[in-house]
Amino acid sequence: MAAISVPLQAEPNMLSRLMTRPTAAVGIAVLIAIVLAAILAPVIAPYAPTKLSIASRLHPPSLDHLFGTDDLGRDIFTRTLYAARTSLAVGFAVVIFASIIGVVLGLTSGFFRRLDAPVSRLIDAMMAFPDILLAIALVAALGATAVNVVVALGVVYAPRLARVVRASTLVIRELPYVEAARALGVPTPIILVRHVLRNVTSPLLVQATFIFANAILAEAGLSFLGVGISPDIPTWGTMIATGRQYMDQAGWIMMFPGGAIVITVLSLQLVGDGLRDLLDPRLAKDI
C-alpha cells in the first residue's frame, strides 16, 4: 500500500458520483436500509426485544417468528433489529473518537518535524498490539460498559488513522500554498485547520469507513467473549454467544445475527472501496 496519497478534497457531489459505481451503490443502498431498520426498530419489530415466552422457546423460523426464537422465547428478528442499533452506534462512536485522536496525533507528527519521531514511535508501539487483544485488556481495566468499549476500540484504531493523516500532512506541508500562508504570517493553528486538515479529509474518510467495518467486527467479538457491552443489551455478538449453546438444537439463533454482521461489514467495505477509487485514483488498483 502506498504510504503517501495525493490529497484531494471531498467534493459536494461525491455521493452522486459514488452512486455511479455499481458496487459502491449496492453498498450504500444496503447500508441505508440497515440504518433505517435500526432507527425504525420499534416500529418494524413485531415484538418487544425483551419479551419472554417460555411457551415458544427455540421455535424455528416461521411466519410468526421470521428468524425463529431463542432459548427464552424471544423473537430473534426483533433482537437482530435492536442489536443493529447497538452495533452501528458503537461503530460510529468508535470512528469519531478514533478520528479525533488520530487527527491530532497525525497532524502533529506530520506537521512538526521535531515531534515526528517520538509520535511515530508511539504509533508504532500501539500498532504492535493485536486489536481485539488490546481492546479486551483495556475493557478489563476500565470496566465493561458501552462507553468503555468505545474508548478501548477508539484507542485501538486511532493509530491507523494517525498514520494516514500523517502521510498526507507530510505531503501537504511542502505545498506552495502552505508556504505562502506561512509567509503571510498566518498563525500555525489556522494553517493546520484551514489548509492542512481540510485536505486530509479524503484519505481520512476512506480509512474511517474501513475502521467502521473493523469496529463492528471487533465489538461483536468482545460481546461474544462476554467482555464487552452488558449482556442485557441485545448485540449481535451476545446473540451468537447464546446461539452457540444451542447450536445442535437451534442453529438459526446464531445464523441470523452472524448474517447481519456480514451484510453490514460487507456494505461498509463496498462503500470504502468506492470512496477510495473515487477520491484517490492512484490507489484504485489496490482493490
Q: Is 226 in the site for other proteins (CB under 8 A)?
A: yes
Q: Is 254 in the site for other proteins (CB under 8 A)?
A: yes
Contact 97, 161 (CB under 8 A): no
Q: Which is nearer to other proteins, 41 or 217 (CB)?
A: 217
Q: Which three cell numbers stand for residue 119?
A: 509520535
**Minimum CB separation from other proteins for residue 9, in Å?**
25
Q: Is 262 in the site for other proteins (CB under 8 A)?
A: yes
Q: Is 281 in the site for other proteins (CB under 8 A)?
A: no
- What does the alpha-carbon distance between residue 180 and residue 245 come to, in Å, rounded to a whole number? 65
Q: Which is nearer to other proteins, 134 or 279 (CB)?
A: 134
Size of the site for other proteins (CB under 8 A): 48
Angle at 230 between CA 229 and CA 231, to 5 degrees: 110
**Minimum CB separation from other proteins for residue 50, in Å?**
24
Which region, judged by CB under 8 A, interacts with other proteins, from 48-56, 84-92, 122-130, 197-205?
Answer: 122-130
Q: Which is nearer to other proteins, 111 or 210 (CB)?
A: 210
Which region, judged by CB under 8 A, interacts with other proteins, from 8-16, 55-63, 170-178, 237-245?
Answer: 237-245
Burial of 158 (0-12, 13-18, 19+ CB in 10 A): buried
Burial of 99 (0-12, 13-18, 19+ CB in 10 A): buried
Of the candidate residues 122, 146, 175, 186, the single one contacting other proteins (CB under 8 A): 122
Q: Which three cell numbers stand for residue 168?
A: 498526507
Q: What character string, x for contact with other proteins (CB under 8 A) and - otherwise, covers 166-205? A: ----------------------------------------
> For residue 265, what are the contacts with CB-CB under 8 A and spacing of at least 6?
213, 216, 217
**Minimum CB separation from other proteins for residue 15, in Å?**
21
Q: Is 225 in the site for other proteins (CB under 8 A)?
A: yes
Using CB under 8 A, which residues numbered 126 to 145 contact other proteins? Answer: 126, 128-134, 136-143
Residues that bind other proteins (CB under 8 A): 1, 121-122, 124-126, 128-134, 136-143, 213, 217, 220-221, 224-227, 240, 243-244, 247-248, 251, 254-255, 258, 261-262, 265-266, 269-270, 273, 285-287
